[in-house]
Structure 1
């Protein structure tokens, strides 16, 4: 339901909604980090489940500690957590001509160990990487303090094995 289409939408209810979403996203019985679970189609979800089965126990030297809610579409390592989400939507920056031409310094395409990535700078020194040219988009958020290249190297083999390349013309 699109709330912005209804004329009776209450602006006063918006702060309460934001507070509720924030509290729900931050609270957890086991103190694991929260991560939104993607909602891909059945084909992509199947690829993501295969990826989950072969993800490494350690990434950048830290052990796997999955975020909540538990899902085969998300994984995490360490604290602050490196978060992987499989089956996300294609990032708008991936089709932005300024990125492709190197004119956008906040988003950079590149490849690591046979996997192409779009790198986007985030607040606080974090980076978000999203696979490119694959049949499913895999997003990896790397917080400041982690070696981004080490993270991508550690994940590359699992992604290559389970998420086939998308044929381009």
Structure 2
């Protein structure tokens, strides 16, 4: 007798669970780079930070370890980007990791410099001073060796 009640209730419970899940946060959509699942990016993914500036991790809608997200609006990190060449964009050193900063309409994109594959971190403008979030990515970025040079500060370039 009890078994039949459980079997009748089970579909209802599954439907309620599905409805509640639909009301929750949607997974973050981000396109992985071609090399996002390379051995180097798998090593990076093992060192994604637990939190970024107090922002909690988010589920992503992609099946790639090389993509991760935190907070709302999400800070998105992707590994596997082609290493940037010479640039006039500002380059900053954060704990020994060089990052090229590119201002976007709705935030800032940071790309590791001198590391191949590169790591990209997209920080929406709602999160304030974007470079303050980069120390969270230090261990992940260090999984890719610095082999292609360092940033040159503007004061060093003039001689």
TM-score by length of 1: 0.67
Tell me by how many angstroms 1:89 deviates: 2.0
Please give the root-mean-square deviation of Cα atoms over the aligned residues, in Å: 2.2
**Structure 1: gaps of 5 or more residues:** 1-28, 100-106
Tell me by how many angstroms 1:30 deviates: 6.3
Matched positions, count: 126
**Structure 2: gaps of 5 or more residues:** 1-23, 151-159
The answer to whether the aligner puts 1:136 opposite 2:131 as a matched pair is no
Residue in structure 2 matching 1:52, options 45, 52, 56: 45
Partner of 1:163: 144
CA contact (8 A) 1:120 1:128 kept: yes
Instruction: Rate the CA distance shift 1:155–1:68 in 2: closer, same or farther, 3 A.
Output: same
Tell me by how many angstroms 1:40 deviates: 1.9
Instruction: Rate the CA distance shift 1:88–1:167 in 2: closer, same or farther, 3 A.
Output: closer
Q: Aligned partners of 1:41 and 1:35: how far apart in 2?
A: 12
Instruction: Rate the CA distance shift 1:58–1:89 in 2: closer, same or farther, 3 A.
Output: same
Structure 1 residues 53-107: Cα deviation after superposition (integer angstroms, max 9, x where no partner): 111110011111142113111010011000001001234xx423xx0xxxxxxx2
Partner of 2:58: 65
Runs of 4+ in structure 1 off by over 3 angstroms are none
